[in-house]
Structure 1
C-alpha cells in the first residue's frame, strides 16, 4: 500500500479539518463495527474520506499530539479486514500518511470511498447514510426503498399501477402511432408484454408504460409527473412573490411532453429583451440544442418515485431546470459528462426507438448541451445537486470578460448605463458593475457622462 510523506503544515491542516458530510476522522482505537458504519454511510450517500489515527480534539487539545497512529502499518490489518464484511463488496482506496516531523507519531490510515451504485450494509445487515457530520441508520423499509430508487438500483419505472387500466396503454393512439414506424411490425399488446409496459401475469400497467403511452399520465399515476414553468421578472437569486408573472403546467406522454416543454420555453424567452455587446436590444436566446437536451435529461432521468413535477424557472438572465431526485449511482455534478448511467433504462431505450428520437445515447445529449453553449460563446450550464433534486442553471453569461464587453458596447454606442452593462455581462449586482466602470476609468478607457447622475448615470469612452 502507498505511503505518502507529508509536511507538518499539511498534517496540521488534516488534523484541524472539520468533520462534515464528506469527511470524518477517528482515533486508532476505533472498532471494526464503526469502520463499517462510516464506510457504508459514505458509499450510500455522496462518497467521502476518513482518517484513522487522529485523536478527537475533546480528548487531546494539542494539535501535534492528536496525530497518534500505529507504529507499524501491519497493526491496521484488523481494521482493514472489516471492509471484507461489507455487502455488497465495497470499492475503496487507501494509503498511509507519515509526517516528516518526529513529534507526529505513527502512520495514519487515509481511506477514500466513492459514491456507490449499490446500497451497502454492514456485517450485521445495517444500512447507513451520511447526513452532515453523522452516519445515520436507515431502519424504515420505505426509507431504504427510497435510497434504492435514488441510486437507481431499483427503478420506479417498473412499479405496477393497479388503479390504471391496461387499455390506456395498449389501445392508446400514441402507442399505435409509435408502432407504425417500428420495424419489425408488432402487435400493440405483444409489444407491451415483451417490453414489460404491462405485467403479463396480472395485466396491470407499469409506470413506464403510462409515462410513455398514456394520453395523460398525470391523471393515473400516484406521483406527480408533469412540468411546471414559472416566469419571474427579475434577475435575483431569491425572487419575491411579486416577481412571479405567471405559471404554466404542461402534461402528456413523455415524447410529446419534451417537445411542448421546449416550445413553451422558447415562446416565453421570445418576450424577454436584453442588451447585447453590440448595443442592440435583442431577444434572450440560448442554443435550442442546449434547452432540448437538458429538458430531455430532466424528464427521462428523473426519479419518478419522488412525488414532484419537473420545475422550470425562467428569469430575465437565466433558466433553472429542476429535476426531482438526486443523481443516480456514482454520478456526480463533476463526472456527469464522463460517466454513464440510466436510472430509467426502459424509458430511455423505448424513446430512442422513435424515428425522431428525442434522446441521444446516454450522456451524449448533455455533452452536446455544453458544446453548443461554447459555440455560442456562453458559459457552461451549472449543475447543482440538492437534497432531493438536481438543478441545471443555463445562464446568459458570455465567456468574454466584463471589461471587454463594456468596451465593445461603447464602440457601437455613445454611452452605457448600469442596466445595459448588467445585461451584456451577466453581472447581477449594480455595485459590481460600478466596480467594472471604476476599473476602466482608472485605466483611462472611460469617463462619466457629464450632467447625468443617480439612476440616469452613464459612461462613455474617454475623449
Structure 2
C-alpha cells in the first residue's frame, strides 16, 4: 500500500531548489498533464531499479527554466493516486506527499520510490526499469531478462535493517544531517524527512541512515564502516609487516567525508614516492579521478553485512582496494563496466542528493576511472573477485608492451636485468620476464652481456657483436 506522507508547507528557498533540480537516474519531473497510466510507467520503472523521486507539477519552459504549477487541490490528483495504489498493492515502497509553497500555484505531488522487493508491472502488464534519465522496457516474454531483473531485486538489503535501541537523535540531530537538510532537501526538519525516506523504521534508524547521516558511523557500525590505508615499501605481490611504512591509517566519518578524506590521504601518500620508468625514477602519479571513482565504488557498493573495513594498500608500483562482498546479482568480472547493480540502492540514491556528491555520473564512474588511466598511458584498473571481496588493482603499468618498455629503457641506460625489468613493467613473474628476454634475443633486439652470468645476467641493446671467424 502507498504511504501517505501528507501535505508539507515549504519555504521559498525550497521551492527554488525544486525548480533547479535536474533529471537523472534518480529524479524525474513532470507537468500535471501526465496521465495516471503514463505516470505509473515512470514510477514502476524507478521501483524496478534503485528507486528515485518524481515531482508532478513542474513545467519546463523556455531556456530550460522550470515553473511551479501544481494541482489546484490535493483531490485533483486522486486519479493518479488511485492508479499508483493499484500498481503498488502489497508493496510499501512508494510514499506520496504534496508540497505547497509561498507565492506559487497549487500542490506539487512528490513521489518517493524505493527499490521494490518485487517486480512491478504497469496497468497493461508491461515491465520497465529506470536507466540514467530514461525508462527502458523489459521483455516480459524473455525468461533471461525477467530472471536478470529478479536477481537485481534481492529479497532484502542490509542497508534497510533498523538498528534497535539506537536513539533517533544519532541521525536526526547530527551536524551532517543538519547541513544536508539546509542545502539539499525542500524541508526544514530532519526527522520527518528521514521518516519519509524510510531511514527510520519502527522507531529506529537504519544502517543506511547511520552511514549517511551519523557524524561517527564507526561508533555504531564498528569494523564495517571505516577505511584502512596501509603503505608498503615494496613492489612484491604481497605486502608484509616488515615492509610497512609507518602504522596503518584509519579514515572515519559519514560516507561523504569518508570518501573525500580517503582519496586525499591516498594522493598525499602516493606523491611521496617514485617508480621506475624507461627514463629512470620518476614521481608516481595516478589520475585523481581514477582514485576517486575506485574508492567511491568500494564504499557505495560494498556489502555492509560483512564486518570488515575497506582496505587500501599502497605499494611502490600499484594500489589495491579491497571492497567486502562479491559481485552482486548478474554483475561479473567481465561485464561490470556495462552492467549496473545497486546493492545499496538507498545509499547510492541519497548520497547523490548531497552537494557535490561523490557519485555525480551514476553508472559512469568506473568508465571514467578506466579512461583517465589510458589518457596518461597507463593500463586500466582491474577488478577481481577474490573469495568474499572484490579487489581493485590500480597498477602503474604502461600501455606499451614489455618489449617497447625494455627497448626504451635501454636507450636511456646501459643495461637491464630481470629484476629491473619486472620493476619497470610491473610483471610479477621472473619466468615470464625471462621468456620476454628470450624472444627479444631471437629477434636480435637485445643480447646477453657475455661477461655476466647466472644471477648477475644483464642484457644490452641491439644484436650481439659479430666475431671474426
TM over 0.5: yes
Checking the alignment, whether the CA contact within 8 Å between 1:421 and 1:433 is kept in structure 2 is yes
Question: Secondary structure of the residue that 2:289 maps to in structure 1?
Answer: helix
Separation in 1, partners of 2:372, 2:155: 32
- Structural RMSD (CA): 2.8
Checking the alignment, whether the CA contact within 8 Å between 1:300 and 1:347 is kept in structure 2 is yes
Separation in 2, partners of 1:204, 1:240: 42
Q: Which residue of the partner structure matches residue 283 of structure 2?
A: 283
Q: 1:272 to 1:266 in 2, by over 3 A?
A: same
Q: Which residue of the partner structure matches residue 172 of structure 1?
A: 174
Separation in 2, partners of 1:369, 1:219: 32
Q: Which residue of the partner structure matches residue 190 of structure 2?
A: 188
Q: Which residue of the partner structure matches residue 459 of structure 1?
A: 459
Separation in 1, partners of 2:348, 2:382: 23
Q: Which residue of the partner structure matches residue 203 of structure 1?
A: 203
Checking the alignment, whether the CA contact within 8 Å between 2:235 and 2:423 is kept in structure 1 is no
- Following TM superposition, by how much is the alpha carbon of 1:274 offset from its aligned partner in structure 2, in angstroms? 1.1
Q: 1:182 to 1:456 in 2, by over 3 A?
A: same
Checking the alignment, whether the CA contact within 8 Å between 2:211 and 2:255 is kept in structure 1 is yes
- Following TM superposition, by how much is the alpha carbon of 1:232 offset from its aligned partner in structure 2, in angstroms? 2.8
Checking the alignment, whether the CA contact within 8 Å between 1:114 and 1:330 is kept in structure 2 is no
Q: 1:414 to 1:344 in 2, by over 3 A?
A: same
Measured against aligned partners, the alpha-carbon deviations of 1:156-186 in whole angstroms (never above 9, x if no partner) come to: 1111112322112111111222223225353
Separation in 1, partners of 2:304, 2:209: 13
Query: Do structure 1's residue 311 and structure 2's residue 307 form an aligned pair?
Result: no
Question: Secondary structure of the residue that 1:303 maps to in structure 2?
Answer: coil
Separation in 1, partners of 2:308, 2:298: 12
Q: Which residue of the partner structure matches residue 404 of structure 2?
A: 404
Checking the alignment, whether the CA contact within 8 Å between 1:342 and 1:362 is kept in structure 2 is no
Checking the alignment, whether the CA contact within 8 Å between 1:117 and 1:328 is kept in structure 2 is no
Matches within 5 A, 1:220-299: 220-221=220-221, 224-245=224-245, 246-277=247-278, 279-299=279-299
Measured against aligned partners, the alpha-carbon deviations of 1:198-231 in whole angstroms (never above 9, x if no partner) come to: 23xx432111111011111111126622112222
- Following TM superposition, by how much is the alpha carbon of 1:257 offset from its aligned partner in structure 2, in angstroms? 0.3
Q: Which residue of the partner structure matches residue 154 of structure 1?
A: 156
* TM, length-normalised to structure 1: 0.63
Q: Which residue of the partner structure matches residue 81 of structure 1?
A: none
Question: Secondary structure of the residue that 1:378 maps to in structure 2?
Answer: coil
Q: Which residue of the partner structure matches residue 127 of structure 1?
A: none
- Following TM superposition, by how much is the alpha carbon of 1:267 offset from its aligned partner in structure 2, in angstroms? 2.1
Separation in 2, partners of 1:112, 1:208: 31
- Following TM superposition, by how much is the alpha carbon of 1:296 offset from its aligned partner in structure 2, in angstroms? 0.4
Larger mean CA deviation between 410-419 and 158-167 belongs to 410-419
Measured against aligned partners, the alpha-carbon deviations of 1:235-264 in whole angstroms (never above 9, x if no partner) come to: 333444433444222111000000111112
- Following TM superposition, by how much is the alpha carbon of 1:281 offset from its aligned partner in structure 2, in angstroms? 0.9
Separation in 1, partners of 2:364, 2:320: 21
Separation in 2, partners of 1:255, 1:225: 12
Question: Secondary structure of the residue that 1:181 maps to in structure 2?
Answer: helix
Separation in 2, partners of 1:231, 1:350: 32
- Following TM superposition, by how much is the alpha carbon of 1:420 offset from its aligned partner in structure 2, in angstroms? 3.2
Q: 1:207 to 1:314 in 2, by over 3 A?
A: same
Checking the alignment, whether the CA contact within 8 Å between 1:153 and 1:329 is kept in structure 2 is no
Checking the alignment, whether the CA contact within 8 Å between 2:163 and 2:206 is kept in structure 1 is yes
Separation in 1, partners of 2:235, 2:222: 35
Measured against aligned partners, the alpha-carbon deviations of 1:281-327 in whole angstroms (never above 9, x if no partner) come to: 11222221111111101111111111111122222222221111122
Checking the alignment, whether the CA contact within 8 Å between 1:163 and 1:220 is kept in structure 2 is no
Separation in 2, partners of 1:387, 1:419: 30
Q: Which residue of the partner structure matches residue 432 of structure 1?
A: 432
Separation in 2, partners of 1:351, 1:218: 18
Q: Which residue of the partner structure matches residue 27 of structure 1?
A: none
Checking the alignment, whether the CA contact within 8 Å between 1:117 and 1:152 is kept in structure 2 is no
Say how many residue pairs are matched.
Answer: 322
Separation in 2, partners of 1:408, 1:195: 58
Show structure 2 runs of 5+ residues with no match: 1-117, 120-142
Separation in 2, partners of 1:308, 1:152: 22
Q: Which residue of the partner structure matches residue 333 of structure 1?
A: 333
Separation in 1, partners of 2:222, 2:273: 36
Q: 1:217 to 1:379 in 2, by over 3 A?
A: same
Checking the alignment, whether the CA contact within 8 Å between 2:158 and 2:207 is kept in structure 1 is yes
Q: 1:170 to 1:182 in 2, by over 3 A?
A: same
Q: Which residue of the partner structure matches residue 356 of structure 1?
A: 356
Show structure 1 runs of 5+ residues with no match: 1-87, 90-110, 120-149
Q: Which residue of the partner structure matches residue 366 of structure 1?
A: 366
Separation in 1, partners of 2:361, 2:188: 24
